[in-house]
Amino acid sequence: MKMIINGEWVDSSDKQVINVINPATGEVTETVPQATAEDVQRALETAQRGKKIWGAYKPAERAEILLRAAKMYREEQETIATLETKEAGKTYPQALAEIDNVCALFTGYAELIRHRYETVLPSETDLIYVTEEPLGVVVCVIPFNFPVDLFSYKVAPALAAGNAVIVKPASDTPTADIYMVDVLIRAGVPKEAIQVITGKGSVVGRLLAESPLVNGITLTGSTAAGIDVNEHAAKNLTRVMLELGGNDSLIVLDDADIDETVQMVMDGRVFNAGQICIANKRLLVHNSIREAFTKALVARLEKVVVGDPFDPKTEMGSLVSEAAADQVEKQVAYTVAQGAKCILGGHKIRYGFFEPTVLVNVTPDMDIAKDLEVFGPVFPIIGFDTDEEAVAITNQSSYGLSGGIATANTRRGIALAKQIDSGGVIVHGTGMYRTLDMPFSGHKHSGLGIGEGMSVSLEEMSIKKSIVIKNAL
């Protein structure tokens, strides 16, 4: 599959490619171009024309095209989900479910821009009104774990606001994003205003980040990647919006229902093989129920069906790559070497598949209890005795993306939520909760900016301008 620059399906200028590997089979299913600096420059120059062309469209005209794209995404959802399942290893039903958010986001932003109003400020003699204009060229860096869903969280508001967009997919999962861009062009977005360029983040991503022709960058990825992009963008004062790593805790209080909480934990960590930034990566369980909770969790995890992502019986597919599974195995072994005990799983099965894994005897001073983010189906259980201790363990991490509290006492849960330093806290649930509207961003090393979501993203993708008519009143 080729990348799309200026509406053309093109190879890289030096013909180099990246293999796209199905992590469930180990087979090469596709190749994509390894873009060069020349390719990046061509895309950037095209986008300069695109921001003028697309920015001149009236909001109602942009809305009509976005609505058409939403309809086409629904019509072509099986193709998109199949591409994602083959390259990401997630189960087909999970990939298909992402289309619901895609359609809702493109439809939602189409409606929002139809009802966007300028603001008039008070003055005794002058007319002051504040309007919002597109940033210009926005680079959307898409992660591998939700390449379709998060494409829409970024691209839909960027286009709705009138920006030209360059999509940079993850190297492991580029094909679904290329297809998503093609749909937008077929729906009517000018070819200069939506492009996709493939290649390694350390090369292509950095070239885009440091370019003075870029006005905004939105990235979901690791904290290291976000810091690198921010550093290179800073010399041009490019606006940067980052959703980064997390090591979210779920605090299970002594009054929590064990069976309900175990199911909650399963939903928050088995989904997508645990490759979710807001998955419950640290299980803080009150010592009075820790043994019973652990026993119930192991019993449930032993029944999880791991296998072919296209098999309807499969509950958990593979990680995104064999290298990712190897990394999780090393992290588990490292934690065991620090003193934890692995009582279930702990090993790669084959290719990108990894066993559901439970670690006990995990103490707050271990890396996994602080800043070691494990992107896989690993359940470290950390005991505590008081609410204050649970908050302290949670907040000792340099991350602060999301978190959850399992309790029968809502008032107690809210009191704890107010003390947790993260972008979101869910009472009666895990941190794996996100609506289309809520501002999704992290504290500390988990993010930068006001967040993604229909309540805030148009503002992030725009720049304000005050226009004054003196002595108009």
Task: Estimate to the nearest angstrom the gap between the alpha carbon of 210 and the chain centroid.
Answer: 22
Could you identify the residue written with the tokens 């790669």?
348
**Do 73 and 99 form a contact (C-beta atoms < 8 A)?**
yes
Q: Name the catalytic one among 87, 132, 192, 243.
A: 243
- Is 98 labeled as catalytic in the residue annotation? no
Structure tokens at 342: 């692995």
| Phi and psi angles of residue 414, each rounded to the nearest 5 degrees, phi first | -65, -40
Q: How far apart are CA 328 and CA 348, in angstroms?
A: 8
Distances (CA, A) of 428 to 9, 268, 410, 421: 48, 13, 8, 18
What is the CB neighbour count within 10 angstroms for residue 198?
28
**CB neighbours of 314 closer than 8 A, spacing ≥ 6?**
91, 305, 306, 307, 308
**CB neighbours of 112 closer than 8 A, spacing ≥ 6?**
160, 454, 458
Q: How far apart are CA 156 and CA 133, in angstroms?
A: 16
Q: Name the catalytic one among 277, 342, 355, 452.
A: 277
Could you report how far apart the first and last alpha carbons of the chain are, in Å? 60
**CB neighbours of 41 closer than 8 A, spacing ≥ 6?**
none
Structure tokens at 239: 């606006």
Count CA within 13 A, CB hemisphere, residue 360.
11
At 210, which amino acid appears? E
Strand intervals (E) in 357-427 = 357-362, 378-384, 399-400, 404-406, 426-427
Identify which of 378, 381, 376 has the alpha carbon closest to the alpha carbon of residue 364.
381
Strand intervals (E) in 22-82 = 28-33
DSSP code for 235: T
Q: How many residues does the chain have?
A: 473
- Is 243 labeled as catalytic in the residue annotation? yes
What is the CB neighbour count within 10 angstroms for residue 235?
10
Identify which of 456, 465, 463 has the alpha carbon closest to the alpha carbon of residue 154.
456
Structure tokens at 81: 């989900």
At 467, which amino acid appears? I
CA dihedral 84, 90, 92, 96 (to 10 degrees): -60
Catalytic (active-site) positions: 243, 277
